A and B are shown apart, each in its own frame.
Chain A
Amino acid sequence: MAQSHHTTDHSDHVGHAPAHHEASLTAYFVVFFALMVFTVLTVAASRVNLGVWNTPLALAIAVTKAVMVILWFMHVIHSPRMTWIVIISSFLWLGVMFVLIFSDYLTRAFNIF
């Protein structure tokens, strides 16, 4: 995807073929290897009792893996700004949903007044 186009009006690239960044094969294999390592890591961590930290650690690893897939397998690292906006806003909206719904669940037991 031509990075130079994302801020300009589309009309000025009449006649272009899609430019693309062929992510090098090395990057794919490195990411795959890292994903394997993290998979083993998350399984290993789950076999140890870390108290309340088991779930946060598992989620942190899952987020890391997802970010790697998004950035390299899905080529977002070379994608126009608009793609970033779409991804970030969808997670932002998801965050709004979680935060505001838990603003109800987590405060139901409070008794200040």
Chain B
Amino acid sequence: MTTTTIDEAPFIEPSTTAKRNYINDEYGVMSWLLTRDHKRIAILYMISVTALFFVGGFFAFMMRLELLTPEGDLFTSDTYNKFFTLHGIVMIFFFLIPAIPAVLGNFILPIMLGAKDLAFPRINLLSWYIYMIGAIFGIYVIVTGGVDTGWTFYTPFSTQYSNTHVFATTMGAFITGFSSILTGLNFIVTVHRMRAPGLTWFRLPLFVWSMYATSVVMLLATPVLAITLALLMIERVLSVGIFDPALGGDPLLYQHLFWFYSHPAVYIMILPGMAVISELVAAFTRKKIFGYKFVAFSSLAIAFLGFLVWAHHMFVAGISVYSALVFSFLTMFVAVPSAIKVFNWTATMYKASVSWQTPMLYVLGFIGLFTIGGVTGLFLAALGVDVHVHDSYFVVAHFHYIMVGGTVMAYLGGIHYWWPKITGRMYPEWWARLSALLVFVGFNLTFFPQFLVGYVGMPRRYHAYAPEFQVLNVLSTAGATVLAAGYLLPMIYLAWSLKFGRRAGVNPWGAVGLEWATSSPPPKENFHETPVVTWDAYDYPAFLKAMKETQNV
């Protein structure tokens, strides 16, 4: 591509591409389906989560179409209930949770550590198969008529009243949970035991710190989801009253257990986004991240504090008011480490020579949208405000600013940033910038009106609404169309680049990190010789010097 500007400072000349790499090392479908190579498993995950992202996106789009008019004219309320349920389940369990860890983390984390693979390659492959089995349950539910409980499966509706496929859906979520447990377990052990010589904890890229924190949450929260869904399935199959008040159970216990997982799960989704953003900021500002240790420890702080706040989802559900006060208070604390990250990224950009390539555009999008999502989260954490806007579109807008404005932006930024490493090809810069712009504009157009319409009282999860809300809803649906274009575009040009993209060198961005010290795409064992790390994270001069010495050997 001639329109690209990526070769501003390629201080390492693109070498002739290694003849052997992980892609052409073996051929045939079975060499992929039975691979233990973390890079190939990452590709398997990338294909699966992308497919499911568009399935989830389809349901979102159908909802926006229905909400174009105040009347419930396009779908029945039952169909609409199934659409928002399936949208939530597919996006959360099958896209957001695995997306960054299982795709980018799987591919990049071992290379960043200078390891040949994750600690347990077979378990890594197993996690993909478990994910696929869960996904097949999900697809089965979609094909055979859906489920209408909402993604939260609140009892007793899900256990006693809903006549849709609750069992198969919860089974799918239950099974998929184990794939994220195995991924988290693999990452933690790999970070502890597989680091290259010289790669001390405080030389680790911030991506690794955040991914480590994510893994801790995956490991300690997901089993609680497993037991919660297991209890739900027992109740539904045996018709006993674990959570059914009519039979002596307590539906609030279900909500407690469910949110003990599902609130930390928010951090399973956003921490990897933060991981990507830290790398991207350092790469495109050509600077060390300001306050490295603060950013590193803030990830762990978020992982821990994220476990203390779950009942803010239950403020109006009938929990004790004293407990609600405590949870409201604790929720405020999560803002501190999150703000530390935002301030440090911004401080890194200050007076830097920023290069405005596509990944950096996503960084800017992320920082702005995440900040809006985070601050509105503080509104919701305040007990009084939450009572007012609970279950309104304000909440919907808030968490989409975090999940879509945060995680999906970071995922796309990361995909573009590491695309040359993963495939050995550059993506077309002009088209990528266009799509980043479309995503940003489309996103804000879709979700900002939802803050407004929610604040004035439009409740979530209804297929019809009062006519005075229509203008904002039309804006939102228009935005969804732009957003859809922004998401489809990368599918086309990234696929195009596989064949026609300019070949990427070892280090097309001139960034620091072990992944930029091996060929693109990397060889099967990642490095031809075990690397020795002599530089601190993001230490440009030291890394450059080390690379020159390697070349002269």
Interface positions of A (Cβ within 8 A of B): 9-12, 82, 89-90, 93, 96-97, 100-101, 103-108, 110, 112-113
Contact = CB atoms under 8 A, between A and B. Distances in A.
Contacts of A105: 320
Contact of A90 (B194, B196, B220, B256): B220
A9 B195 CA distance: 8
Interface stretch (B90-98, B141-149, B321-329, B467-475): B321-329
Contact of B319 (A9, A10, A97, A108): A108
A93 B310 CA distance: 13
A89 to B, nearest CB: 8
Counting contact residues on chain B (CB < 8 A from A), the size range is 20 to 34
B359 to A, nearest CB: 31
Given A82-B192, A110-B320, A104 B311 contact: yes
Given A9-B197, A10-B193, A107-B320, A101 B256 contact: yes
B393 interface: no
A113 B321 contact: yes
Q: Majority SS of interface residues in chain B?
A: helix
Given A9-B200, A10-B193, A11-B195, A104 B307 contact: no
B384 interface: no
B323 A104 contact: yes
B245 interface: no
A88 B321 CA distance: 31
Contacts of A93: 220, 307
Nearest to B318: A108
Contact of B311 (A11, A12, A100): A100
Interface in B192-231: 192-200, 220, 224
Given A9-B197, A104-B252, 13 more contacts: A9-B198, A9-B200, A10-B192, A10-B195, A12-B197, A82-B192, A96-B307, A97-B260, A101-B256, A103-B323, A104-B311, A108-B320, A110-B322
A107 B323 contact: yes
Contacts of A101: 253, 256, 260
Contacts of B319: 104, 108
6 contacts: A9-B199, A10-B194, A100-B323, A101-B260, A103-B323, A104-B320
A97 B307 CA distance: 8
B308 interface: yes
A97 B224 contact: yes
Contact of B320 (A82, A90, A103): A103
B19 to A, nearest CB: 30
Interface string B512-525: 00000000000000
A112 B193 CA distance: 53
A90 B327 CA distance: 21
Nearest to B219: A90
B326 A103 contact: yes
Contacts of B311: 100, 104
B256 A104 contact: yes
Nearest to B224: A97
Contacts of B198: 9, 11
A22 B336 CA distance: 47
A96 B252 contact: no
Contacts of A104: 252, 256, 311, 319-320, 323
Nearest to A5: B193
Contacts of A97: 224, 260
Nearest to A99: B308
A110 B200 CA distance: 51
A107 B322 contact: yes
Between B307, B308, B320, the greatest number of chain A beta carbons within 10 A of the residue's beta carbon is seen for B320
A97 B194 CA distance: 32
B197 A100 contact: no
B382 to A, nearest CB: 17
A10 B199 CA distance: 10
A95 to B, nearest CB: 11
Contacts of B224: 97
A89 B307 CA distance: 13
A110 B197 CA distance: 58
Nearest to A89: B220
A92 to B, nearest CB: 9
B320 to A, nearest CB: 4
A106 B197 CA distance: 52
Of all A-B residue pairs in the complex, the 9 with the closest CB atoms, nearest first, are A11-B197, A104-B323, A107-B320, A108-B320, A107-B322, A103-B323, A104-B319, A93-B220, A104-B320
